[in-house]
Amino acid sequence: MRKIFANGTDETAFLEELGRRAGETNKKVTETVSAIIEDVRENGDSAVKNYTLKFDGNLPEYYEVPREVINDALTEADPEFVSALLNAQENIADFHNRQKEQGFINPKENGVILGQRVRGLTRVGLYVPGGTAAYPSSVLMNAIPAKIAGVKEIVMVTPPLKDGTPNKDILVAAAICGVDRVFMSGGAQAIAALAYGTEEIPKCDKIVGPGNIYVATAKKLLYGVVDIDMIAGPSEILVIADETANPKFAAADLMSQAEHDILASAIMVTTSEKLADETIAEINRQKEYLSRKDIIEKSLNDYGAVIIADSREKCVELANKIAPEHLEVLMENPMELLGSLDNAGSIFLGHYASEPLGDYYAGPNHVLPTSGTARFFSPLGVASFTKRTSYTYYTREALEEAKDDIVLIAEKEGLTAHANAIKVRFE
């Protein structure tokens, strides 16, 4: 990892380099995905199955996973794994139940009634990667808030394993979370099927869940045809730390995100050069016994850094500028800084709130804005799966009182039909 002193120039150059990585668009991928989307739109399931055969090597044993296969996966699973998922489910549900939003009605003395209805979407598509990148935790993080929001049906798509069977761990998570239907399909073709609907895969109102660059590009291109959770980039972690931090902890937490992808970014900003040097040394020691050592090394070499700042305030300033997906505060009295940390997907406070706690277990969602978009995007939550409709009731008397103002504004805008719609009620 490179070591950078925050002098206003060097750290700015590094962050600009990081920003260019996030903004890169692969034109070839876009062209390929566009062609797949159009094919699925025109040819439905036959196109989806052809791409499955092309990209996965063979067709799965079944297109839609039978309910008994899903139930059997849960019954036959390792009891300790099931117990761990159930404990995580309890924490995730408890957190997200607190996000539920109520509608309201506001009756006024003049007979006017205003209000808002809040209800869950009808059908949501959940994309779950397969193979070596299969994450049961993502099933929990996407499906649980959807269920709490009142989504009527969750349709999951996931690519088959090389032998054509579904990933059993994914099915276990789906069974626990109450996923309604599971289809064996992955890639951009599965996203297109969820967006447009096919003979067998139902059309969805929103698509959520992580995927590779083809999946992410498909979601981006289809936004507007269907809603999506977010356009996610590579994983990120920023650790801000002072001399009270343990370099073993800091190093381990940085590598926990670097192992995701060679494009992942792991950065530490610290007020202690001693901690910076010790953390780098710990990374070099710990990585030797980690299974994804090569990915970690490339990620840290290309997109990692330890930045040395002269104060806690400078650490906070840089954190808000970077707006990371995950932000750890390994500092004395970390709660004191919470009110100043405005731009982060999820904040982990103190020496024992390690980021993987959020990935799997604590309760807050792990689907988070990346690439600096935490400046304006929020984590996935119950509100992500709801829609709001406002309503208005006016009496004749209430409209008569407001009509002159409405007509004046409408005529100022040159919209005489708008004005007329009010006037005709009083002629």
Do the strands 386-393 and 113-120 form a parallel or antiparallel pair, or are they unpaired? antiparallel
pLDDT in tens, 125-160: 999 987 656 789 999 999 999 999 999 999 999 998
* Element at 183 (helix H, strand E): strand 181-184
For the whole model, what pTM was predicted?
0.92
Q: Are 77 and 198 in the same domain?
A: yes
pLDDT of residue 347: 97
Supply the range of the domain harboring residue 62: 27-228
pLDDT in tens, 42-91: 999 999 999 998 888 778 889 999 999 999 999 999 999 999 999 999 99
Q: Give 66's DSSP letter.
A: P
Q: Are 239 and 224 in the same domain?
A: no
Q: Which of 194, 228, 262 is the last residue of a domain?
A: 228
Tell me whether residue 326 is one of the annotated catalytic residues: yes
Q: Are 237 and 366 in the same domain?
A: yes
Q: Are 108 and 242 in the same domain?
A: no
> Is residue 7 in a domain?
no
Q: Are 110 and 41 in the same domain?
A: yes
> Is residue 309 in a domain?
yes
Q: Are 347 and 285 in the same domain?
A: yes
- Of residues 325, 328, 355, 366, which has the active-site annotation? 325
Q: Are 321 and 408 in the same domain?
A: no
Determine phi and psi for 123, rounding to 5 degrees.
-145, 130
Q: Are 31 and 166 in the same domain?
A: yes
C-alpha–C-alpha distance, residues 309 and 289, integer Å:
31
Q: Are 295 and 401 in the same domain?
A: no
Tell me whether residue 260 is one of the annotated catalytic residues: no
Q: Are 210 and 348 in the same domain?
A: no
Strand 346-349: give its sheet, edge to edge: 2-5, 305-308, 265-270, 236-241, 326-330, 346-349
Determine phi and psi for 307, rounding to 5 degrees.
-105, 130
Q: Are 33 and 147 in the same domain?
A: yes
- Of residues 326, 328, 351, 366, which has the active-site annotation? 326
Print burial letters for 370-409: b (CB count within 10 Å at least 16), e (below 16): bbbbbeebebbbbbbbbeeeeeeebeeebeeeeeeeebee
pLDDT of residue 24: 58
Number of domains in the chain: 3
Which residues on adjacent β-strands are paired with residue 236? Answer: 265
